[in-house]
Amino acid sequence: MIDSACTSIGLILFPALTQLDLTGPYEVFVRAPNTKVHLIWKNLDLVVSDRGMAIQPTTTFNACPELDVICVPGGPGQINLMEDEEVLSFIRTQSKQAKLVTSVCTGSLVLGAAGLLKGYKATTHWASLDQLALLGAEAVSERVVRDRNRITGAGVTSGIDFALNVVSEMFGSDIAQNIQLHMEYDPAPPFTCGSPRTASEEQLKKAQEQAAPFIEMRRQATLKAAARLKK
């Protein structure tokens, strides 16, 4: 459990991220006691998500304080982050003193590109799970994966589960449960197709075919990042 007068949590906000990867955890984190949550980018200009939502950064890489928790969300813009040395350097620097190094969805591939998942178990969106091994991580098909001080969440909606796990680790399960109750986080999805484990073969095949061109683009970015890690 983290003992701090004010816990500092930072989420990387970047163009073409999936907003729920960020806003789901944000909603949990800002309800934690004595906590300051930072939305971090290179400048303070509005950042537009992959679906068109504009979000305001609260601080920049240069102005950001030392973080107790750093979190990298995912989304299509993650591809560019994997070769953006300014971003990767910031994540590496903050990770040196951060108590928890975390991600949601394909943000874990960015952690991997920064060299921060070698030898760690991790997860990501199911469609890109196999790419973690290219970056030296052990891929685990679970909604939230904890390995030492690395905590990673699977795709998009798992960000809330992920953040509740982080709060439980930081402040104890009583506070995490209190936040969950206030948020009325009591999922009852209308369909049992939210995972490859529960979707029908036909549904899964269709989703894989729809995503295939972009997943290949992501794979090429991951391969390039993996090659850079070997230099």
Which residues does the annotation mark as catalytic?
105
Cα angle for residues 75, 125, 214 (degrees, 5° grid): 55
Among residues 101, 207, 194, 102, the alpha carbon closest in space to that of 155 is found at 194
User: Do 17 and 77 contact (CB within 8 A), yes or no?
Assistant: yes
Torsion of CA 51, 57, 63, 67, to 10 degrees: -70
Distance separating alpha carbons of residues 70 and 166, to the nearest angstrom: 11
Distance separating alpha carbons of residues 11 and 40, to the nearest angstrom: 6
